[in-house]
Amino acid sequence: MNEAADRLAEVQGHIADAARRARRRPDEICLIAVSKTHDADAIRPLIVAGQRHFGENRVQEATAKWPALRAELPDVVLHLIGRLQSNKAEEAVALFDAIHSVDRSSLVQALAKACEKTGKRPQLFVQVNIGNEEQKGGCPVADLPALLAEATAAGLQIAGLMAIPPADIEPAPFFALLDELAARHALPLRSMGMSGDYETAVMLGATHVRVGTALFGARD
Ligand X SMILES: *Cc1c(COP(=O)(O)O)cnc(C)c1O
- The site for ligand X (CB under 6 A) is made up of 34, 36, 57, 81-82, 164, 194-196, 210-214
Residue 112 or 175: the one with the smaller Cβ distance to ligand X is 175
Question: What's the min distance (Å) between Cβ of 137 and ligand X?
Answer: 9
Burial of 95 (0-12, 13-18, 19+ CB in 10 A): buried
Half-sphere exposure of 208 (CA within 13 A, CB side): 29
Residue 81 or 139: the one with the smaller Cβ distance to ligand X is 81
> What is the spatial distance between Cα 53 and Cα 79, in angstroms, rounded to a whole number?
7
Half-sphere exposure of 160 (CA within 13 A, CB side): 19
Q: Which residue is nearest to ligand X (CB)?
A: 212
Question: What's the min distance (Å) between Cβ of 155 and ligand X?
Answer: 26
Residue 112 or 215: the one with the smaller Cβ distance to ligand X is 215
Residue 108 or 162: the one with the smaller Cβ distance to ligand X is 162
* Cβ(208)–Cβ(189) below 8 Å: yes
- Enumerate residues 6+ apart whose C-beta is below 8 A from 132: 140, 141
Q: Find the helix or strand (DSSP H, E) in which 30 lies.
A: strand 30-34
User: What secondary structure does DSSP assign to 165-197, as a single string?
Assistant: PPTTS--HHHHHHHHHHHHHTT--EEE---TTT
Residue 61 or 91: the one with the smaller Cβ distance to ligand X is 61
Question: What's the min distance (Å) between Cβ of 58 and ligand X?
Answer: 10
Question: What's the min distance (Å) between Cβ of 116 and ligand X?
Answer: 27
**Which amino acid is it at 54?**
F
Question: What's the min distance (Å) between Cβ of 31 and ligand X?
Answer: 11
Residue 81 or 177: the one with the smaller Cβ distance to ligand X is 81
Question: What's the min distance (Å) between Cβ of 113 and ligand X?
Answer: 24
